[in-house]
Amino acid sequence: MHHPIPGSHKHRTRIRVRYAETDQMGVVYYSNYFVWMEIGRVELVRERGFNYKELEQTEGLFLSVIDATCHYLYPARYDEEIVVQTEVVNASSRTIEFAYQIRSAGSDRLLAQGSTRHIWLNREWRPVRLPDQYREVLRIG
Amino acid sequence: MHHPIPGSHKHRTRIRVRYAETDQMGVVYYSNYFVWMEIGRVELVRERGFNYKELEQTEGLFLSVIDATCHYLYPARYDEEIVVQTEVVNASSRTIEFAYQIRSAGSDRLLAQGSTRHIWLNREWRPVRLPDQYREVLRIG
Amino acid sequence: MHHPIPGSHKHRTRIRVRYAETDQMGVVYYSNYFVWMEIGRVELVRERGFNYKELEQTEGLFLSVIDATCHYLYPARYDEEIVVQTEVVNASSRTIEFAYQIRSAGSDRLLAQGSTRHIWLNREWRPVRLPDQYREVLRIG
Amino acid sequence: MHHPIPGSHKHRTRIRVRYAETDQMGVVYYSNYFVWMEIGRVELVRERGFNYKELEQTEGLFLSVIDATCHYLYPARYDEEIVVQTEVVNASSRTIEFAYQIRSAGSDRLLAQGSTRHIWLNREWRPVRLPDQYREVLRIG
């Protein structure tokens, strides 16, 4: 395609907030945003044609997190539909970094944004290079 | 000992309720009581002289749950100290059943009671008999 | 309708197993099935034309669990799509009981079945009768 | 005191890793470190003579997170005792920032370090100034 649509490589996945994810402040407990980020990156990988589960089982490759951040703007609430927008913002043979925007599906209001940085490990927990066929699909953008 | 102390074989462990364990009703979310039961049975095992982690790693024995129940009487609240009282109520070479009472540490009020039933599995997920040395320590009472 | 379709009043909702829901046994941790049951009953309520969130906010009615059980047959695994089938098996003005079957979406294999029993509470945590308009939609079957 | 002991204002609290906190990689799932940080800051507050629960109930003051970060060095494992070391690194009338080190209690190895930044909210979710008596105890160091 000659004219790439800006933002077209951002994966979007929808999640409905569970009661279990709220706390007594009446909003989503802060650590759960990182669970949603995990769903975002897994779905991005799936959209690009393979799945993370097989990567673990068949290739013995594990995506180990080394950094995680989240900036919270507005609280997500019970039963709200939220959209996790995920993109690859950095990728080498050994590391990959995702950025996330978490929005209210109804209002499109940005609720939080975050990032995670990962290294690839093998079954012996040693850092490894991601095979070329996967690097191609997990490229930036 | 000639005069066993009633209840002496019930293991007690203390837990402080975490903010993460509450929900927007302002009390502990119901599935978390099962997490506390897990802590109760692990600590009972530890008190009896071995530990569940080693059972998994060294013996390749896994305690797989087949039934779980909980009856809720009063809500546990954030920051409250609770006591999980655990006992073995049934044990064979292949299955084990625990009963639990979850109490407020301050008032001793019974908040919930439950039970879990388990089978022993090996690394291939096949039901197995628990070796005699462990059966002895995991007996009823 | 003269010939009700058996099982037609069972609500079905799909959930994909999250990485966060697994434990080091490589399968879903047992307390998470109760989180899925909560999703099942909330979606059943939604399908019947109102939503639980509004019930809490507008009517000040809370569905408080008094009993929960789960029988586990086969483990649910990471990334698997599961179906939670929920039905009302008992309902009075003051209590309601749901039954659940949790199946693998691919094979339709029954993984677990459970139940929860609840009472209705008001904002002061006193048991109350469910207003008639809600009783009608939350009837059995 | 004329000669402050370096590090003397760092609060330490011990936590044993729960089975529920692990995932199928065999280590603690990454979002749970943020739950431990919450325990660390609550215990720091308690050590300084009041408690967060009362702050919420009596004063209507809520500590709302606006930023959270974690850098992961070594995985925490099931049944391991870990130490969460918490300190106030920044505090004004309206915001407070905590830094955390999460260590293995046995080896003292640093497993992860993180930070959280918060604002104070009232019951109407409006940013407020922390009353002076609390500011004094929640000072830096």
pLDDT digits over C82-91, tens only?
Answer: 999 999 999 9
How confident is the model at residue D141, as a pLDDT?
65
pLDDT higher than 70, residue C5 = no
Given a cut of 60, whether residue B2 has pLDDT beyond it is: no
- Give the integer Cα–Cα distance in Å for A93 and A138: 10
B42 and D19 within 8 Å at the Cβ level: the answer is yes
Residue C3: pLDDT over 90: no
Tens digit of each residue's pLDDT (9 = 90 or more) over C90-129: 999 999 999 999 999 999 999 999 999 999 999 999 999 9
**Minimal-distance CA residue of chain C relative to D29:** C20
* Best residue in B33, B50, B79, B116 for a mutation probing chain D (most D CBs within 10 Å): B79
pLDDT tens digits, C72-82: 999 999 999 99
Chain B (25-54) residues lying within 8 Å, Cβ to Cβ, of chain A = 25-27, 29, 31
Instruction: For residues B68 and B116, give the distance between their C-alpha atoms in angstroms, rounded to a whole number.
Output: 4
Q: For residue A7, what pLDDT is reported?
A: 46
Q: Grade residue A2 by pLDDT with cuts at 50, 70 and 90.
A: very low
What was the pLDDT predicted at C141?
Answer: 65
Is C24 near chain A, with CB under 8 Å?
A: no
Q: What angle do CA D11, A32, A135 make, to 5 degrees?
A: 110
Residue A119: in which H helix or E strand, if any?
Answer: strand A110-121
Distance between CA atoms of residues C62 and C57, nearest Å: 9
Give the pLDDT score at A139.
Answer: 86
Considering only alpha carbons, which residue of chain B is nearest residue A27? B24
Give the residue-averaged pLDDT of D37-52.
94
Question: For residues D69 and A1, which has the higher predicted lDDT (pLDDT)?
Answer: D69
Cross-chain Cβ contact B26/A22 below 8 Å:
no
Judged by CB atoms closer than 8 Å, whether chains meet at A26 and B29 is answered as: no
Residue written as token pair 């483990």: C75
| Contacts of range B95-98, beta carbons closer than 8 Å, 24 or more positions apart | B95/B66, B95/B119, B95/B120, B96/B63, B96/B120, B96/B130, B96/B138, B98/B37, B98/B40, B98/B41, B98/B44
What does DSSP say about strands C95-104 and B110-121: parallel, antiparallel, or unpaired?
A: unpaired
Average pLDDT over residues C53-71: 95
Average pLDDT, chain D: 92
- What is the ipTM for the molecules in this complex? 0.93
> Which pLDDT tens digit goes with each residue over B22-69?
999 999 999 999 999 999 999 999 999 888 999 999 999 999 999 999
- pLDDT band at residue C136, thresholds of 50, 70 and 90? confident
Name the DSSP class of B66.
E
Q: Does B79 touch chain A (CB under 8 A)?
A: no
Nearest Cα to A22, choosing from B82, B30, D30?
B30
CA distances from A129 to A59, A93, A111, B4, D53 (A): 12, 5, 34, 62, 48
Among all chains, which residue has been given the structure tokens 């050590």? Answer: D47
d(CA B87, CA C138): 39
pLDDT at A141: 65
pLDDT score recorded for residue B116: 98
pLDDT recorded at residue C133: 87
Note the pLDDT tens digit of each residue in B89-133: 999 999 999 999 999 999 999 999 999 999 999 999 999 999 998
Nearest beta carbon to residue C51 from set A18, A42, A79: A79
Note the pLDDT of residue D129.
95
Tell whether C69 is within 8 A of chain B (Cβ). yes
What residues of chain C lie within 8 A of the CB of A52, using their CB?
79
- Pull the structure tokens for residue D14: 């011990």
Q: Does residue B80 or residue C141 have the better pLDDT?
A: B80
Nearest to B47 by CA among B86, B79, B93: B86
| High-pLDDT (> 90) share of chain D, % | 84
B51: chain D residues, CB-CB within 8 Å: 79
Mutation pick from D72, D111, D118 vs chain A, by most beta carbons of A within 10 Å, is D72
Does D6 score more than 50 pLDDT?
no
Chain D: closest CA distance from residue A115 (Å)? 9
pTM equals 0.94
Entry field: residues in chain B: 141
**Span between the terminal Cα atoms of chain C, in Å:** 14
Q: Which chains touch D (3 or more CB pairs under 8 A)?
A: A, B, C
Predicted pLDDT at B1: 35
Q: Contact, C88 vs C116, CB < 8 A?
A: no
Residue D4 has pLDDT above 50, yes or no: no
Mutation target vs A (from C79, C84, C123; most A CBs, 10 A cutoff): C79
Chain B: residue whose CA lies nearest to C61: B25
pLDDT higher than threshold 80 for residue D116? yes
